[in-house]
Amino acid sequence: MAGTRRTGSEDSATRALLLDAAERLLLQEGYAAVTSRRVSAEAGVKPPLVHYYFRTMDDLFVALYRRGADAGLARARQALDEQRPLEAVWQVAADPRGAVFAVEFVALANHRKAIRAEIAKDAEQVRQLQLEAVRAELQRLGVPPDVFPAPALLLLLMGLGQVLRLEQGLGVTVGHAEAVAFVERVLRELSEGRLPG
């Protein structure tokens, strides 16, 4: 029975090798290139091993997403702990390293419910963490909530960062320098206790 079939250990070196191979394919050729045959060839293992460690390709994609999301959450927590929260949110949002990964998983989520659910769960968790930090920072700086509501400021920073990453991936850069300069000026003025003018 498929439901009781034995699967490989989650801390196996072979499993990690398969995830590494899947990630390379995803980043280089897009999610459609991530098939069990391509992953096994990229990893240099026999094709049945893919399904030994991952019952379905959805299981492989969820594991790959989870691995990236867990690392991203750890980076976000570290940045929020080490820096001023507003600057930390901006740095995470504008970091180009995650652009291709994010685009491919959003595209994949349009076709696979398991991936969509995983992305939504992760996004809510990260958003809540960021929102609490941004709200506390704005309060610490004495910024009235009606001037810069924390949820709106957070979404503006995250949204602009994602647009910049996506466009940079396409080779579009018109207006980017000005947008980055504007955001950095606003964040600097807020951190100095001044309302941007």
Measure the CA–CA gap between 91 and 83, rounded to whole angstroms. 10
Q: What are phi and psi of 143, to 5 degrees?
A: -85, 120
Measure the CA–CA gap between 51 and 22, rounded to whole angstroms. 13
| Weakly modelled stretches of the chain, pLDDT under 70 | 1-8, 197
Q: Which amino acid is at 178?
A: E
pLDDT score at 2: 47
pLDDT score at 184: 92
Report the CATH fold assignment for 1-55: Arc Repressor Mutant, subunit A (1.10.10)
Closest alpha carbon to 77 in 133, 150, 19, 149: 133
Tell me the whole-structure pTM to 2 decimals.
0.76
pLDDT score at 197: 67
pLDDT score at 170: 81
Q: CB of 183 within 8 A of CB of 160?
A: yes
pLDDT score at 166: 82
Measure the CA–CA gap between 185 and 175, rounded to whole angstroms. 15
